[in-house]
């Protein structure tokens, strides 16, 4: 199998512009501080010679110029559109490619290795999230089908099912279920885990 690319979707850690739902519970500055440190820990934890890490930054111009990211990791802009359009663009990179969010404190190299192994046997892979969405999506070397991730109801219990429906007849594997941090309650759960 070709060495996969792991794309980590990140936002510039500016108070009031990142983790806004979390900020409603803990404040904008603490939410941005948590996010900045979460991304740094995540990137240190996920480095591995089995895959190449690329950062997909938002907003594009500010994110590409930001000093918040490790200098040795390549960055690209996420581009415009809803979450589905941005992820579909990232999934169009030469495969296998895995896209993950940056607000999943529990993700480890072992989780990514399971997703890579699943892609060796399946056309696509998802890592379900506790809220009905997912923290990971990956596609093998076949190009994404037309309309992938179009019409998905994001930030709710239907995101995974809607996304699966956009893959047509692709063989899909599921890996570990993990939680992301969107709210103060999510953060409290992650801290206590």
- Tell me which CATH homologous superfamily contains domain 5-192: Spore Coat Polysaccharide Biosynthesis Protein SpsA; Chain A (3.90.550.10)
The residue-averaged pLDDT of 99-119 equals 96
In this predicted structure, the answer to whether residue 69 has a pLDDT above a threshold of 80 is yes
> What proportion of the chain, given as a percentage, has pLDDT over 70?
99
Give the model's confidence band at 123: pLDDT under 50 very low, under 70 low, under 90 confident, else very high.
very high
* 3-state class (DSSP) for residue 106: coil
- Between CA 157 and CA 57 the distance in angstroms is 26
The residue-averaged pLDDT of 11-36 equals 95
Average per-residue pLDDT in the chain?
94
* 3-state class (DSSP) for residue 30: helix
The residue-averaged pLDDT of 9-24 equals 95
Find tokens 């999506």 and name the residue.
137
In this predicted structure, the answer to whether residue 159 has a pLDDT above a threshold of 70 is yes
Q: What is the pLDDT of residue 132?
A: 87
Q: What is the pLDDT of residue 130?
A: 87
In this predicted structure, the answer to whether residue 144 has a pLDDT above a threshold of 90 is no
Tens digit of pLDDT for each residue in 70-89?
999 999 999 999 999 999 99
Tokens representing 37 are 């440190």
Q: What is the pLDDT of residue 1?
A: 60
Strand (E) positions, 80-171? 97-100, 124-128, 134-139
β-sheet with 52-58: strand ranges across: 75-77, 52-58, 5-11, 97-100, 134-139, 124-128, 172-174
User: What ranges in 47-158 are assigned the alpha helix state H?
Assistant: 60-65, 83-91, 109-121
Angle at 55 between CA 36 and CA 121, to 5 degrees: 120
Tokens representing 10 are 């990140």
What end-to-end distance do the CA atoms of the chain give, in Å?
34
């Amino acid at each position: 199998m070709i060495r996969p690319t792991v794309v980590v979707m990140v936002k510039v850690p500016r108070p009031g512009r990142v983790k806004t739902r979390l900020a409603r519970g803990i404040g904008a500055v603490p939410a941005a501080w948590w996010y900045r440190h979460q991304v740094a820990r995540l990137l240190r934890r996920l480095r591995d010679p089995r895959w190449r890490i690329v950062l997909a930054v938002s907003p594009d111009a500010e994110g590409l110029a930001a000093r918040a990211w490790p200098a040795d990791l390549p960055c690209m802009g996420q581009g415009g559109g809803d979450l589905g359009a941005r992820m579909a663009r990232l999934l169009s990179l030469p495969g296998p490619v895995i896209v993950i969010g940056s607000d999943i404190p529990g993700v480890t190299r072992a989780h990514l290795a399971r997703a890579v192994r699943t892609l060796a046997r399946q056309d696509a892979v998802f890592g379900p999230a506790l809220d009905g969405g997912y923290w990971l999506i990956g596609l093998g070397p076949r190009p994404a089908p037309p309309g992938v991730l179009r019409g998905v109801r994001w930030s709710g219990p239907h995101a995974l099912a809607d996304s699966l429906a956009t893959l047509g007849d692709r063989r899909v594997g599921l890996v570990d279920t993990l939680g992301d941090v969107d709210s103060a309650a999510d953060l409290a759960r992650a801290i206590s885990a």
